[in-house]
Structure 1
Amino acid sequence: MSRPKVYSIAPDAPFLPTLADRILDGTLLGDWPRGDENPFWLSDITVVLPTRRAQLALARAFSERGHVLMPDIRTFGGEAPDEEPFLPPIEAEPLLPGVSRLERRLVLARLIDGWARTPAGAQALSTPPSAAEVLALADSLAQVVDDLNTEQVSAAALAAIAPENLAANWQNVLEFLNLALVAWPAILAERGKADGSALRNERLKRQAETAPLVFGDRPVIAAGSTGSIPATANLLGALSRLPRGALVLPGLDPDLDYPRLLKPEESPHGHPQYGLAQLLRRLGVPPDAVVELGAPGPRVAVIRQALALPEGTARWAQARAALAPQLAEATDGITILGARTADEEARAIALAARDGLMHGKTIGIVSPDRNLARRIATELLRFDLEVDDAAGSPLFHAPAGRLVRQILSLASNAFAPVDLVALLRNRSVVLGMERAEVARLADYLETRLLRGQRPAPGLAGVRRLAAEREGAEKLDPLFDALQQALDPLCTLLAGDRFSSATFARTLAEAFARIATGDTVPGRSELEAWANELAGREGEGPLLPATGLEQVLYKLMAGFEVRNSQPRRDDISIWGQLEARLQSPDLLILAGVNEDIWPEPADPGPWLSRGMRMAAGLEPPERKQGLASHDFEMALGNRDVIVAYADRIGTSPALPSRLLQRLEAFVGKQTSVLRASGNVWLEAARSLDAVVGARGADRPMPKPPAHLRPRRLSVTEIETLFRSPYDLYAKHVLRLRRLDPLGEEPGARERGSMIHEVFARFVIEGHDFDGPEALGKLNAMAREAFAGLDAIAERRDIWLRRFEHAAAAFLEFERDRSIHVRKRNAEIKGEWVFPQLDDFRLVGIADRLDMLNNGELEIIDFKTGSIPAVGDMKNFDAPQLLLEAAMAGAGAFEGLPSVAASALTYVKIALGPDAFRPTEFKPGEGFSLMGAADEVSRRMQRHVTEFLLRDTLPMAARIRPDVTLRYRGTYDHLARNEEWTLLEGDEE
């Protein structure tokens, strides 16, 4: 074999088109005959590339150059059919089947789960891991196995790690690793399988050994690989040493100080050229022996200076001065887009991509952040541009996975109303019925049954609630189908522990019954996942019935749903691997934030950075070096946008160190790069902005007088005084607030129940001084709170609190018994005003107690706050005054006309203010009945102006209560926040 023939294509040259040109002009073919003497010369050439996407792009490059006959284009270590030509022309042992990722995850998880229960495992892990955490640890351990295989380091190398230099927890971890990394190969051997990383090494080794026999003296060109995998590096060396072999590297810097770059003490692993330097060392080729296929331009010099080794930054001033005349040319075409948020970043990228398409450009969007990629795809839909992330959508987030999660949530939460309605609203749920029928029943179930109701747990609780509602029998077919579909899953979750196989099988069966006959995107992938997992009975940790959504997420990791529909080919979203060697007209690097591009140098939970290096493994910064090389190659594109966000989620974020270095080197030129990015940011911000926004006017509805209400309650008079619009919405438009779905009883319901018990005690005539009074009150409370069986814990707490409140109530009533002749509870009243077109004022008084002196005391028991004294004096709390006026007019059933001598608020509570009476404070110069007469006159004036006539609008917030810290029922309809401005307590 000859000395390796190594070439390089600079970052600013489109790699695959340049490779095609150099093949066609014979640069890479040596003396291989071309032209008329060998008309099929191109089909005799073999080109080996890193990815299938590069394979297709190179074929397109040859086609664009008018060549129908293509070279034999292959990938390194591809699928079995692609490897056949590499196999030796002699008999070879067949390779073992590969162990699946899921099988390995379950087996390793079982090992970790057993170790976690030992004293050593408990000490190392500090807290017992959940099932989801065990599965995550299994994936991390599998990565250690792959690293050992990839870097061809034996597990025995861990013996080089001196345990006496480690902390106690790391010693325990190392002890487990020594056992697990011996047990795992034995398990594989017993099953007759092998790790995928080990099989890849073996395939690449066979290809390297048989290359001379397979290719002979025909041209073979290996291109685009950095040789980061040692087995790949060996194959590259074997191919490049063939008589007509050649190796074409991506973006090699021949001027770099490679001896320094390879010194571990210099920590060079994050440098973009580190992998190429390692490859050249393995090949025994000095950098100056590498042939550059085209001279790099000034941009390459700028990029390489910006990403120089640490000591290279000390020479930035000289380098910048030397490049100053070319700096503008070098950075022409680079745009920096610094968005405020990831949402804004995605929108700006979508606008830039759309503009490129309108100018006939091809667009490539690269992001290692899958969430950001999905955001960008969604933003592109604004412009009817359907583009998919090449990496696909995780099964967990795909429609099929989403439906499975809804099924699991419904069963786990015992048919909670929100989960039940959410499942039935999923358009894939058919339950063996017509989808329209399911939707109709879901509407009825939500609006007529579950709003404001909290049924007992389980489907049985929902059925019992439905049985109380007339006409709800129409839901029986729906309930029967749900029970048949989910009973096995509910039974499984009611148990103690179960296997992953049983869990997946039961979930898949429920999915099949619920989504019968419907095509759900991801359904086939879900079935494949469930079938594989169902065949692993006895493997993996036993699962508890809690935290199962996280367990499902870990079990589905690695299963992707790819779009099978044809999409346009002039725009693509790629991951970093898919983007390598691609050269679109506009390349957009998205998510160029620190800890995203490059990712954190996390060694994982099993080996620290020092332990990895002691065992002969590369440190975690090696992946950062690959990301840096991707960044360097991407910046070589003629037009490139580098985008990042200042905030990701709720946390601040930084631009990537790679971008920071570039900006630091180019200095003032950064403002030019950012200015071109600001164009897209301003467009993104204005896309949803409203120019010349004007606040809404206060609503001024003027319905005809005959449509306005002629009957109000005493509590609605305050609304009439403060915001007639609320009465318009309630009585004219007949709008009622929908109760929250599955609402649990709160303070309002508790207050109503307590009022009901206290009133019932009075109505039934029980003796406050009797020894059985407290027991009777508690018995009544148990009856009133019986509807809280669905939330028994809350019911018991409320009953315990009621016992204290009841004792205080009895003490309050006993203290005043000497003054009270008769107590009257929950008395209805109606006051008719003939002079106001028979307007009626109605109300139910908590207590109207006749005193021994023949006077009347009106009591309002409050579980909420008592009105402020200022509101009492200003007639802004008119309820008790109106009840006094009604009593004076004889408007209460069974009571004669009588003047009230006391209006009292009593706070129902457990603190020191409990059952302490608060007297109503009328305004200065008013007696109680005088104030009652005044509020009656004011009410009549408001009724006349706002209800009996249609001259005044029923406006919102004419006298607002600015102390309220919650929204009113109709505030959103009145659009209050658009035409009011509150500062503190002032309007």
Structure 2
Amino acid sequence: MSLFSIAPHTPFLPCLVDAVMDGRLLGGWDQSGPFWLSDVTIILPTRRAQDSLAEAFAAHRDFRGLLPDLRTFGGEVDDEEPFLPPFDTGPLPQLAGSLERRLQLSSLVAAWAHTVEGREAFSTPPTAAEIFSMAESLGVLIDDLAIEERSPAAIASLGADMALELGDYWQQTLRFLNIALEAWPAWLEDAKRADRAYLRRLRLDRQANAAGFLYDHRPVIAAGSTGSIPATARLLHTIAGLPRGAVVLPGLDMAMTPAMHEALLDPATNPHGHPQYGLAHLLRRFGSSAGEVTELCHAEHLRTPLVNLALAPTAATALWSDQRFDDASLAEALHGVSVVRARNEDEEARAMALAGRAALEAGKSVGIITPDRNLARRIAAELRRFDIVVDDAAGTPLFLSSAGRLARQVLALVVNRVTPVDLMALLRNRATTLGTDRVALAETVNRIDLLLLRGQRPSPGFAGLRALLAARMASDADERRRPISPDDAVVMADLLDRLELATAPLVSLTSEKELPASALAAALGSAVLAISPDAPLPGREEFLAWIDSVAALSGKGHRFAPHGLEDVLSALMAGVEVRHRIPEDRRTDIAIWGQLEARLMSPDILILGALNEDKWPGTADPGPWLSRGMRLAAGLEPPERQHGLAAHDFAQALGNAEVILCYADRVGASPSLPSRLLQRLDAFIGAPAAEMLRQRGAIWIDQARGIDAVAQVSPAIRPQPNPPAAVRPRQLSVTEIETLMRSPYDLYAKHVLRLRPLDTLGEDPDARERGTIIHAIFARFVEEGIDPADPLAFDRLMQIASEEFAGLDAIGERRDIWLRRFATAAGQFLDFEKGRAHTVRERHAEVRGEWPLKLAEPFRITGSADRADVLRDGTLEILDFKTGSPPSSGAMRGFEAPQLPVEALIAHNGGFKAMAPAQTSALTYVKIGLGPEAFKPSGFVLPEGMSVMELADEVWLRMQRQIEHFLLRDTPMPSRLLPIKGQRFAGAYDHLARTAEWTAVDGEDEA
């Protein structure tokens, strides 16, 4: 049997080419003819390795003529299927695709969930998305059984075979698993279909059975596979036994003793996470030992034994003290290795990109390996800083691709009944064209956003948008909203019509009681194509192919109610990838690979990223149905098997001449640990050497931190605009007096620059609108002179409320809720008024007033008081009904809440035309609400020893100084001059003043 291995420190593909060209792998095959190489067959794990091997042959000094017959065990991740042999055989069963299986299993899962036993098993009925996800997880279990060639009976017999008592819960679970163990195989048999994993096994076995006839005495070489799939292992065994067959293993530890070999075969020692576990089991299948394997291109290198010792089985770590290298040997072994310890993923990606760029500038080739697709995207983005377009071997899930995002936005628009946020998200997607020019469409979208939807909450659906448009056309524009011209209205209405037509098939589905997956896919596909018929859309081809595949299964699968459709879509799209289109301007000397693509590659510099726990290796998840012990008892590999593959990839990568190992202290928002593989390496080489590796990698961290650093930071300063006094306001409202005291800059932005904050898109105006309406109701009650003690007062108050709330007819549900809630407030209001009736002579509501000030230039104060009641002693009580919280007592005592005192000054100076001038004896806040504190008056907290009018006089002196200083002369108008302590919301102009920057620099206490 011809077994060979190539050590990790030896470039795999160049060594393989040398061994073919010099005949070591050919078994004496005649090399005298011009085309002898074309008679050689080489089978590799991936297409990337196949392409690279072709390039290696073409670059060989002795290469002439044709390439060998290069084949792969399969060109996709986790697929080691070779080509079918070219001879007649009986027909294989037709493939039952993964989507078809998911749909069929979903029907079985849903049917079981509605049985008596199923209702007992689930605490709540599973949603459609949960049913599809359970079907997918059952499919994984089916594949595990097929790949590892275990019978469903192995699962069914677990309760009898295992020593531990699994109990009733396992029996219940087992009855559910019978969907995968019994019902699904029965369906396959009736339909004469087979799973992909089973068909792969059949093809591999056919290849193995036909190998002797197919290759005869011609050379055939299987290289780079670990034989992790039993059927692949049988094919490798067959090839190794052919007259001129050879199997070349990747990175077999040639120093492995028989005892170590046996330990890796003993499940009791838990060897599954060891890098040599897979190769040890492969040799056992061959009936061979490591001593029977020949190393190709043998060359001594201390790094390979160092890594093998560092990753030794747990029991062998007790021998480390005797196995550690001396300083000279350690330095030689670690020459070319460095470690990058980043603070976070962003810094890690930037450091990796900088290291790759530096290598390219030095004329070296670069390979970047990471199992984390998010990190891969970050690295690619960082490389684009330097105009380096890199080929990322992995794809993007269809659900997260550009096409998937557009589909989700369309679905959200329909499901949420055309909310403003969903509408804008879809219309601002650059792929949305509706068959028109995108630039013109964008202008219309801006008009809909700014003129129609800001601060508005239309009724649901396109009808609600049209009603809102008609209402806006019929009403006069206020100071906050620009008018909508008739031409704009026509363009807006046309866009809404076309969007409604495009989504009509999907809208109709939402009224169905139940629908199949094919109906959802067809309607969604129709909407997406109508909305984006011609715009560039990455993932469009895969999305259309997915639509076709679901349509081909019309009516199949679980029928579900149109609820939670985004989660359903995610479950239906699971497993569909969008392959990156290789750009024409990409470089060929740098690439981002997954672990599988990188196994046989040997660039000048190899950069390993995401060397964090739960990333490399990933989480050992046994799945939802079987524990680790159950998997072992059933003859299945435990989840740690994936750890062994990750460890083998790590050991192979460390054999590269120059290696940079990268990890981050934080992944996402959480602290993270270095990979156990890196921790093992650190522990074996010792703390000084580990620190030395990080010092080598610190150059990339320093550059990553410095690339965006600024030598001298000039923080934003507090803005202090100084416009000419002539353009500053000569009139303020009573509410703006406090603004003048606290932040004159806000008055500058509002009155000089004439800036108004945009309302929130699709804002729910509940609080603001409810407060306005309730104030109007109470004002009408007072203006109509209704006696609170009248037995009919409550009915009249509710009648007024019905009339005021009638303006919300377009949103009837909200109107009815508010009206019912107001009934409680109405009773509290009447009780409040009756309780103070004996002190009140006249009541005045929403009293508007104006007060001309005698200053250097004409100046006016305007405003209105919620209530100004004349008391029986002739003085006034000014009340402020608040839906929010009143000012703090400290602000009142410190003259920082001037609104009510200024209203008292207006009243004293005859500014309220409906009332005679009078002094104010009480300032009162009344909270409107439904809680226990509702309509409990709280008096204005006066400074000690002051009356209300003395307080008002002091406020007048301060206000006069503020007006003369900031508005009547050329004086800077600073921002946040007197901020409110503890304010938890941003002011309307804080972003314009960049307060977050300079308040942090000044160290202001905002608590």
Say whether the 8 Å CA contact 2:349–2:375 is kept in structure 1: yes
**Which residue of 2 is the match for residue 876 of structure 1?**
896
Task: Return the match for 2:647 from 605, 609, 628.
Answer: 628
Report if aligned partners of 2:47, 2:74 keep a CA contact under 8 Å in 1. Answer: no
TM superposition shift of 1:96: 3.0
Aligned with 2:35 (options 37, 40, 47): 40
**Letter of the 1:87 counterpart:** P
Query: 1:478: Cα distance to partner?
Result: 1.1
For each residue in 1:743-776, what CA deviation from the matched residue of structure 2 results, as whole angstroms up to 9, or x when unmatched?
1124333322221211121123223222221122
**1:113-512 to 2 correspondence within 5 Å?**
113-163=110-160, 165-178=165-178, 180-256=180-256, 257-293=260-296, 294-321=298-325, 324-470=327-473, 471=485, 472-512=489-529
Count of residue pairs the alignment pairs up: 978
Query: Matches of 1:786 and 1:335 in 2, distance apart?
Result: 73
Secondary structure at the counterpart of residue 385 of structure 1: coil
The whole-number CA distance in structure 2 between the counterparts of 1:786 and 1:670 is 75
Cα distance, 1:192 vs structure 2? 3.3
Amino acid in the other structure paired with 1:958: L
Q: What is the aligned counterpart of 2:6 among 1, 6, 9?
A: 9
For residues 353 and 789 of structure 1, the distance between their equivalents in structure 2, rounded to whole angstroms, comes to 63
User: Contact 2:846 / 2:867 at 8 angstroms: preserved in 1?
Assistant: yes
Q: Is the 8 A contact 2:142 2:180 kept in 1?
A: no
**Superposed displacement of residue 912, structure 1:** 4.4
**For residue 545 of structure 1, what is the aligned residue in structure 2?**
562
Q: Please list the CA deviations of residues 922-956 of structure 1 after superposition, one character each: whole Å capped at 9, or x if unmatched.
A: 44564433332332233223222211211x11112
Give the equivalent residue in structure 2 for 1:87.
86
Deviates more, 1:502-511 or 1:41-50: 41-50
Distance change in 2, residues 1:934/1:284 (3 Å): closer
Residues 388-787 of structure 1: pairs in structure 2 closer than 5 A: 388-470=391-473, 471=485, 472-564=489-581, 565-566=583-584, 567-667=586-686, 668-786=688-806
Q: Does 1:949 align with 2:969?
A: yes
Q: Deviations over 1:592-644 (max 9, x none)?
A: 22222222222212333233222222222222211111111111111112222
**By how many angstroms is 1:519 displaced?**
3.2
Q: Is this contact kept in 1: 2:390–2:587, CA < 8 A?
A: yes
Mean Cα deviation higher: 692-701 or 437-446:
692-701
Query: CA separation of 1:57/1:413 partners in 2, compared to 1, >3 Å: closer, same or farther?
Result: same
SS at match of 1:940: helix
Asked whether the equivalents of residues 394 and 580 of structure 2 are also in contact (C-alpha less than 8 Å), the reply is no
| Residues in 2 aligned to 1:482 and 1:686: alpha-carbon distance in whole angstroms | 48
Aligned partner of 2:172: which letter?
Answer: N
On the 8 A contact 2:105/2:179 being kept in 1, the answer is no
Q: 14, 17, 21: which one pairs with 1:24?
A: 21
What value does the CA root-mean-square deviation take over the aligned residues? 2.4
CA–CA separation in structure 2 for the residues paired with 1:807 and 1:126 = 44
1:786, distance to aligned residue in structure 2 (A): 4.3
Deviates more, 1:363-372 or 1:167-176: 167-176
C-alpha distance in structure 1 between counterparts of 2:74 and 2:353, whole Å:
36
Contact 2:108 2:179 survives alignment (8 Å) = no
- The DSSP-based 3-state class of the residue aligned with 1:892 is coil
Letter in 2 for 1:45: V
The equivalent residue for 2:481 is none
- Does the 8 Å CA contact 1:881/1:935 hold for their aligned counterparts? yes
Would you say the 8 A contact 1:109–1:541 is kept in 2?
yes
Tell me the CA shift for residue 663 of structure 1: 0.9
> Residue 76 of structure 1 contacts residue 204 of structure 1 at CA under 8 Å; is this kept in 2?
no
Q: Is the 8 A contact 2:744 2:966 kept in 1?
A: yes
Determine the structure 2 residue equivalent to 1:828: 848
User: What one-letter code is carried by the residue in structure 2 that aligns with 1:55?
Assistant: Q
Structure 1 residues 907 and 125 mapped into 2: Cα distance closer, same or farther (>3 Å)? closer
Q: CA offset at residue 124 of structure 1? A: 4.6
Is the contact made by 2:926 and 2:938 (CA closer than 8 Å) also made in structure 1? yes
**Aligned CA distance change for structure 1 residues 206 and 709 (closer, same or farther; 3 Å):** same
1:321-357 deviations in whole A, cap 9, x for unaligned? 4x54311111122222222222222222222222222
Give the secondary-structure state (helix, strand or coil) at the position aligned to 1:579: coil
Deviation at 1:796, TM superposition (A): 4.9
Q: Distance in 2 between matches of 1:142 and 1:179?
A: 10
Structure 1 SS opposite 2:392: coil
Residue 464 of structure 1: CA displacement? 1.1
Pair 787,560 (structure 1): closer, same or farther in 2 beyond 3 Å: farther
Out of 957, 977, 984, the position equivalent to 2:996 is 977
CA distance 1:907–1:612, change in 2 (3 Å): closer
* Range 845-854 or range 57-66, more displaced: 845-854
Post-superposition CA distance 1:170-220 (Å, at most 9, x none): 222223434533332332233333221122112211221222222222221
Q: Which residue of 2 aligns with 1:76?
A: 73
Identical residues among aligned pairs (%): 54
Instruction: Determine if contact 1:13/1:296 at 8 Å carries over to the other structure.
Output: no
Normalised by the size of structure 2, how large is the TM-score?
A: 0.93
The Cα shift of 1:570 comes to: 1.5
Q: Secondary structure at the match of 2:493?
A: helix
Structure 1 residue 985: Cα displacement: 5.8
Query: 2: distance between equivalents of 1:172 and 1:420?
Result: 46
- Residue 487 (structure 1) shift: 2.2
SS in 2 for 1:577: coil
Q: Secondary structure at the match of 1:494?
A: coil
Q: Distance in 2 between matches of 1:425 and 1:895?
A: 54
- 1:931 and 2:951 aligned: yes
| TM-aligned CA distance change 1:613 to 1:788, over 3 Å | farther
Aligned to 2:477: none
Q: Write the distance in 1 (CA, Å) between the matches of 2:899 and 2:319.
A: 83
Tell me the distance in 1 between the aligned counterparts of 2:881 and 2:461: 37
| Preserved contact between residue 466 and residue 473 of structure 1 (Cα < 8 Å) | no
- Asked if structure 2 preserves the Cα contact closer than 8 Å seen for 1:344 and 1:684, the reply is yes
Residue deviations 1:816-853 (CA, integer Å, cap 9, x gap)? 32333321111111122364422111111112222333
Q: Once the 2 structures are TM-superposed, how far is the Cα of residue 543 of structure 1 from its aligned partner?
A: 2.3
The amino acid of 2:719's aligned partner reads: P
Q: Which runs of 5+ in 2 are unaligned?
A: 474-484
